[in-house]
Structure 1
């Protein structure tokens, strides 16, 4: 702040130094004026100016220090109290602008919440006809047509489900209910949803769940597994997808392994970024880039660690490491 203040008052300082120099120059040229006396006057004047400058520094920078400390606080009216006329004008102007900004922010927040609620209501409304369409598809006798319709229905279902969870994920902490979750029930439930798609692509599942129960939230864990399984099916052409769970060093681990196209090494660090789609997979052309992003966002409050190991042409292994009961103590007070 001292450097900024000196820079701000540089014109004043230069003026005083210039005047002192002028006095000394006049005393030097004019023999009728004792040069020593003139130097003494300049010396005393310089001391007074330095004292004045220091005093004004503490007085004038107090307001700006307060302003700088509250730079990110919209409610700065309690500290923006200037003593000098220009400081009072600045404080009043900032206060008026902050009031306007706060009203606009409040109005925008209300609008966003309304749009969010309308979107959620729309998604729930769409699910009703979507369910009816699924029942109609079940009555289709042409098996090829039925598989194609089921696949397209499944795509719409997943997109709506993804959108629904995207809207809820901002307040996921309010929606969590941590309890022992039957891992087998969740996995098989999601596999049943993907069954028609898997049949169409000739993909099977090899299930080996040594760990039957994990501590998590059933709804959000199902969402995470749904995203990972759908990715495994989407990027595999045939063969089995292996889903296994086991315990190692006291930690419960679940693995989902496919033998699909894999992920390029340069893409691996970015797969959880919002909107990122593969630079190599042709299947990613129509992808939203939100699946793995939302998966990571949902896993974080559940204290689930996700690791991805992949090689192009050899498939992908996704490892979920579940937390221990003690890990949730600080989060939910279990």
Structure 2
């Protein structure tokens, strides 16, 4: 048994691997010197214990920090882990948080139901009213574009209205390819790396970017709560990031073409996409975004017609999540009930579309066929 556990292996001469290996280990043997204590006390050490960090996570974090123009990034096990770490590391009893009423459902649950149990004062306001409500807040939490109505938050206006508040922004839909919140005054950016950053629907991960101080504080919270992004998932994310700009350019182009085709269809009553001149915040989108993303939503005449379109698409699959290579369609009103939503949360005639990387003509044909049958 001892020999099985401690095999004698020869040196392996050769070159250095071009791709970082997967460090599939839970722990690391430490030097028998005072350096071991230094390793253990570091923020996100790469060779101590995988709950604290790993070489694969560090590689992805370096790439993600570069994308956002941040001092540091923290890789976590999901987008909600990133949102939770960002908020929980910066609030305590008596903290005043101002956030939008339009947010990802789990983020709303955290804001509406969880934080108040800790004595945090949370005010939820209409998204367009966030700049007016922000003065006096300790923390402002924004999401732009919001899910699923594609409403934008004017980040520069929020920053100007509350210069001393900690501004946290969920940038999952836009991605740093299209919006860079840190350059618009945000302090921390949270994203679900499950989506466009990875881009292949095979990873669950989240990321926080910002100053080294704020990211270090969030790491201390995550170290306690334990939302680990394991080495294999971190490796897959780093691999996906290598094609991120190429994919996002295609997502942007495809979504624009799909939005234009849908807006011309007589059975579509509205298309919600910041890249359309008909979007009420198109001018803001042009100022705040360099591209308009791969997400859109559209409404039809009745909830029954929305269900018909959902059942009739062939290329577009009915699945939650977004940002992968494939086009996905969902009926948010049907899904939100199971997560604490109410009947007036989302228009029951609205469908959300994550436009994939297929040929745009094929995506349009699939949707128009579903609308016309």
Provide the TM-score with structure 1 as the length reference: 0.24
Higher RCO, Cα 8 Å, sep 6+: 2
Provide the TM-score with structure 2 as the length reference: 0.22
Question: Hey, which of these two has a bigger chunk of helix by percent?
Answer: 1
Larger radius of gyration between Structure 1 and Structure 2: 1
